[in-house]
């Protein structure tokens, strides 16, 4: 809760500067195409891992704050993002062979702060920029199916909603990385927005596992002037 309050405070402080500037704020929403980067290692096993993406959604607030040269601007966002990954791991040991299929679905509050440049195109604007982001994992679900020659019946299905925590099979809730975005803003305040988030933090608590968020989003924004 303290982390979420801090995220909201940072967003309000950045947006507060806009009171002194000619600014616009808006709402946004769209689709998220995510494929977190994952890998696993174990000295006692040979592990071959593959992954595929999942489709989610995002929505939230966006503020456009010009400063100095009118082309320059700071664009903070406060977003709710649904994202994740599908993985398949094939594990081979001396006397064991197993296939582990897992699906991670995460729900996060994300705060990107973009430094951007705008180019007028008639009555429209093209805005390109990027910057850091911070993200706080709020909830999620992990579904796992294990097929192994040492499990009675050969198959074990499990599911949990406790995906964030300090256990070795959970993820750290605090994420950070780099954000790249582009906006095509129409004269009436409607905008088309695309975004790519590249997670730097390894969220896994297990030293033999890696989990780094990656996702692309595209959607619509509407700015109130």
Q: Quote the pLDDT of residue 7.
A: 54
Yes or no: say if 66 and 73 are a contact pair by the CB < 8 Å rule.
yes
Q: Quote the pLDDT of residue 8.
A: 56
Among the listed residues 67, 60, 76, 65, the one whose alpha carbon sits nearest the alpha carbon of residue 9:
76
Q: Quote the pLDDT of residue 109.
A: 96
Yes or no: say if 85 and 53 are a contact pair by the CB < 8 Å rule.
yes
Yes or no: say if 171 and 205 are a contact pair by the CB < 8 Å rule.
yes
Yes or no: say if 109 and 145 are a contact pair by the CB < 8 Å rule.
no
The structural domains of the chain, ordered by start, are 2-224 (2.40.160)
* Residue pLDDT, tens place only, 157-171: 889 989 999 999 999
Q: Is the pLDDT score of 192 beyond 90?
A: yes
* Residue pLDDT, tens place only, 92-120: 877 778 899 999 999 999 999 999 999 99
Q: Is the pLDDT score of 52 beyond 60?
A: yes
Contacts of 31 (CB under 8 A, 6+ apart): 55, 56, 57, 58, 217, 218, 219
Average pLDDT score over residue span 110-139? 96
CB neighbours of residue 204 within 10 Å: 19
Strands annotated E in the chain: 24-34, 37-40, 46-52, 54-66, 72-92, 97-121, 124-148, 155-160, 174-185, 190-199, 209-212, 214-224
Computed over every residue of the chain, the mean pLDDT equals 89
Q: Quote the pLDDT of residue 53.
A: 96
Yes or no: say if 39 and 214 are a contact pair by the CB < 8 Å rule.
no
Contacts of 169 (CB under 8 A, 6+ apart): 205, 206
pTM listed for this prediction: 0.87
Question: Look-up: residue for tokens 């909201």?
Answer: 8
């Amino acid at each position: 809760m303290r982390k979420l309050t801090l995220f909201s405070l940072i967003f309000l402080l950045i947006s507060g500067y806009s009171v002194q500037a000619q600014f616009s704020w808006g709402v946004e929403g769209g689709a998220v195409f995510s494929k977190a980067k994952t890998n696993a290692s174990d000295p006692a096993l040979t592990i071959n891992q593959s992954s595929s993406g999942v489709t989610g959604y995002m929505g939230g607030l966006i503020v456009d704050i010009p400063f100095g040269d009118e082309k320059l601007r700071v664009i903070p966002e406060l977003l709710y993002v649904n994202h994740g990954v599908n993985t398949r791991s094939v594990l081979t040991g001396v006397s064991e062979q197993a296939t582990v299929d897992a699906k991670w679905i995460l729900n996060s509050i994300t705060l990107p702060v973009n430094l951007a440049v705008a180019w007028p195109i008639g009555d429209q604007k093209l805005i390109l920029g990027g910057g850091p982001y911070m993200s706080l994992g709020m909830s999620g679900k992990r579904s796992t199916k294990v097929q192994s020659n040492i499990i009675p019946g050969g198959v074990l299905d499990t599911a949990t909603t406790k995906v964030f925590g300090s256990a070795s099979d959970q993820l750290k809730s605090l994420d950070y990385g780099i954000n790249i975005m582009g906006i095509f803003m129409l004269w009436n305040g409607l905008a088309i927005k695309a975004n790519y988030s590249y997670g730097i933090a390894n969220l896994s608590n297990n030293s033999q596992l890696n989990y780094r968020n990656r996702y692309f989003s595209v959607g619509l924004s509407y700015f109130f002037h």
